[in-house]
Amino acid sequence: MARARILVADDHEEIRNEIVQLLKRKFDVLEAVADGPEFLEAVNRLKPDLCVLDISMPKMSGIEVAQRIKSNDAQMKIVFLTLHDDSDFRAAALETGEGYVTKARMGKELLLAIKEVLAGRKFSDDGKKISRRV
């Protein structure tokens, strides 16, 4: 089975590098970028299977980026990776994307979130099981 192709966006270089190191063992990381406009260009150019997006980025939030991606490709899978362990952010993100992982739980939950989302399920690291298929 081919490895999933993933595109990453986070405005902090150290975090971006950490995400890439974590993901590259199981997935093909196509590129890691620092902001929303750069990410949108990369999505159009590279056509990933799944996007990992930070919510708080300069120029354009991850949620805005996800909304633009979904307006062009409703089937694109999106996992949000964020510092915000907040129910309002979580709800807003899961209206647009399929997964939500806080950076505090990244090491334990990000690979599982990606696996679940690629299998067609929603994922949230808050301990609440989201069982519906998307």
pLDDT per position as a tens digit, 15-74: 999 999 999 999 999 999 999 999 999 999 999 999 999 999 989 999 999 999 999 999
**Residue 17 maps to a domain:** yes
Which CATH number goes with the domain that contains 78? 3.40.50.2300
Residue 18 domain boundaries? 5-124
| 133 confidence band (pLDDT: 50, 70, 90) | very low
Total domains, the chain: 1
Q: Enumerate the β-bridge partners of residue 77.
A: 50
**Residue 130 maps to a domain:** no
pTM: 0.91
**Residue 134 maps to a domain:** no
Q: Supply the pLDDT for residue 1.
A: 61
**CA nearest neighbour of 106 among 79, 69, 129, 88:** 79
**Residue 129 maps to a domain:** no
Which residues have a Cβ under 8 Å from the Cβ of 113 and sit 6 or more positions away?
79, 99, 100, 101, 123, 125
